[in-house]
Chain A
Amino acid sequence: MGAQILFFLCAALILISAIMVVTVRNLIHAALWLIATLFGAALLYASLDASFIAVVQVVVYIGAIAIMFIFAVMLTRRELLIKTDQTNANWPLALGLSAVMLVALGYVIGGFGVTLNTTPAAIPAGVDPLTLLGKALLAPEAYVLPFEVASVLLLAAMVGAVYVAMNKK
């Protein structure tokens, strides 16, 4: 019962703030609402026993990505002062497409029916998911290659970002 209340609170926080992200006019507010969404998702991860993911969500998304968004909005500030619409001419089409997508996804998920688990699987006694995660990330027979590729991607993106945004004089 308590778990369900927690789930509904998190889901309400995530969905309401996500709707605010895509609708508010002031982009700084949109970025702050994004932080609320991300925080709700972090709570959800914590309730799913994925403590590492929950904390990394706060560190990476709130501590780095959201702050970068706020910086970017400030650096392009003149756009904020324009009092015109923040949506383009195609927004009804976009709304329709998203609604169709939602119905379609809902239909597919509803169609899974009884094949989906209704309760979380039991974590075996003496098993710490955090230790397993550490081993999985670095074991050659598990995910070390994707992990290293991801770090190379991050490095390449970082160098590229510095190069692109550098003020060439």
Chain B
Amino acid sequence: MNFWTDPIKLAFDGLMGLFSSWGMAADAAAVVINLLGIVGLISAVMVLDILLVWVERKVVARFQDRLGPNRVGPWGILQPFPDIIKLILKEDITPAGADKVAFNLAPILSLGSVLFLWAVVPLAATIYGVDLNVGLLYLVAAGAVGTLSIIMAGWSSNNKYALVGAYRMVANMISYEIPMVVALLIPTMLAGTMSIKGISDFQLEHGLFFFLTPLGALLFLISAIAELGRSPFDLNEGESEIVAGFHIEYSGMKFGLFYAGELLHAFTFGAFVGVLFFGGYAFPLPWGATNAFVAVFNVLFKGMVFYWVIMWVKYTVPRIRIDHMLAFNWKFLVPVSFTLLMVTAIFHSLLKDTGFWPYTLGMFLVNLIFGWLLLEMLRSRGRAEREQAEAPSTAAQAAHH
């Protein structure tokens, strides 16, 4: 029974007994075991990352009506390994005039900023790196390190395309941080805690946050896609104008680190959508509350689902122009997120004592009405702009006749 609920504790005790029998002091042994745990978690995540390369290539192939990798192993599942061997064997170039330290540090920071995130993902009731009471802010802070890595890469490459890509990416990430933080404030407010494990546990008793704040979940997903720099927000790469953006000068495994970081980042944000808005580790299989293995499956499964949603968006929507991207954030997402936060706060305090069903249905209804009003406003605005755009042409046509 203990094995199913808390395998980590069991492993810890077992290793502790082993190290003690070797004559190691208790606190030294604890440090060593914790280090082993960190290495184990990072290794597991990186192995998952190798698999993600295959998933991404296979899914994009299906979207584009191709087969994708299908030669190495069953369904081409071993394809990432030849990819990795190729990347390692490639020549490792540091361009002339590059700032060597910053150039080599940037890919490490880029992947590191994603791996930092896994420290706070609650994989099960008993399996998590650390239960920070400022977990959601930590998520934003790791994003700040990612921004830093991109500007370092863009600047140190000594290449104007790289610099333009880095400028665009930083403008993108800093702008979209605001709706993301506000979208994260909604679960914080509803659960009364910033701890990601606390939010996950809160949903066990009070239902999924997706039903309380569907628009908040959507806002988080949109700003997460922007934060990732994936299409339609992939101006940082913009193959047709700036070739590959900030990582244009990177070759071999250094490029591989950026690539692996991007894939893992997308999956990690997928997992965060699942944990923050879709019930953490006890949904869709409710045994996750007590069984650690089912819980890990739940988290990874939801991560994959939302990773798939992010890929779906990426391979469907074309890239938007930079002024459109910034206007969409500052003139639409930021005001909408602040209004949504206030509306949610007001109705949360009005409805919270009315019992489970009135509260959940009321919050869901409020979100539906809010979303409908938003769509109506956008529609009338779009109609007005279209009429304005069409008006001179009809006048010209009338004059012509």
- Give the interface of A toward B (CB within 8 A): 28-29, 32, 35, 51-52, 55-56, 58-59, 62-64, 66-67, 70-71, 74, 128, 130
Contacts and interface: CB of A to CB of B under 8 A. Distances in A.
A63 B143 contact: yes
A63 B141 contact: yes
Contact of B155 (A55, A59, A70, A128): A70
B140 A59 contact: yes
B133 A70 contact: no
7 contacts: A32-B102, A51-B134, A52-B134, A58-B144, A59-B140, A59-B144, A67-B148
- The binding surface of chain A is classed by DSSP as helix
A28 B163 CA distance: 14
B145 interface: yes
Contacts of B147: 63, 67
B228 to A, nearest CB: 16
Contacts of B137: 52, 55-56, 59
Given A62-B145, A67-B174, A32 B133 contact: no
Contacts of B143: 63
Closest 10 CB pairs of A and B: A63-B144, A58-B141, A55-B137, A55-B134, A59-B141, A51-B134, A130-B133, A55-B141, A62-B144, A59-B140
Question: Considering residues A58, A63, A70, which has the most beta carbons from chain B within 10 angstroms of its beta carbon?
Answer: A63
Nearest to A66: B148
Nearest to A63: B144
Contacts of A71: 170
Contacts of A52: 134, 137
A64 B143 CA distance: 11
B111 interface: no
B257 interface: no
Nearest to B132: A51
Contacts of A35: 148
Interface in B180-195: 194
A70 B163 CA distance: 12
A28 B134 contact: no
Contacts of B155: 28, 70, 74
Interface of B: 99, 102, 132-134, 137-138, 140-141, 143-145, 147-148, 151-152, 155, 163, 170, 174, 177, 194
Contacts of B132: 51
B145 A58 contact: yes
Contacts of B145: 58, 62-63
A25 to B, nearest CB: 13
A56 B134 CA distance: 10
Contacts of A29: 99
Contacts of A70: 151, 155
A55 B148 contact: no
Given A51-B134, A70-B155, A71-B170, 16 more contacts: A28-B102, A32-B102, A35-B148, A52-B134, A56-B137, A58-B141, A59-B137, A62-B144, A62-B145, A63-B144, A63-B174, A63-B177, A64-B144, A74-B155, A130-B134, A130-B194
Contacts of B163: 74
Question: Considering residues A58, A64, A74, which has the most beta carbons from chain B within 10 angstroms of its beta carbon?
Answer: A58
B60 to A, nearest CB: 31
A159 B170 CA distance: 21
A67 B141 contact: no
B193 to A, nearest CB: 9
A88 to B, nearest CB: 26
Nearest to B181: A59
Nearest to A42: B141
B224 to A, nearest CB: 16
B174 A64 contact: yes
B144 A128 contact: no
A3 to B, nearest CB: 13
B128 to A, nearest CB: 16
Nearest to B137: A55
A108 B152 CA distance: 41
Nearest to B133: A130
B323 to A, nearest CB: 15
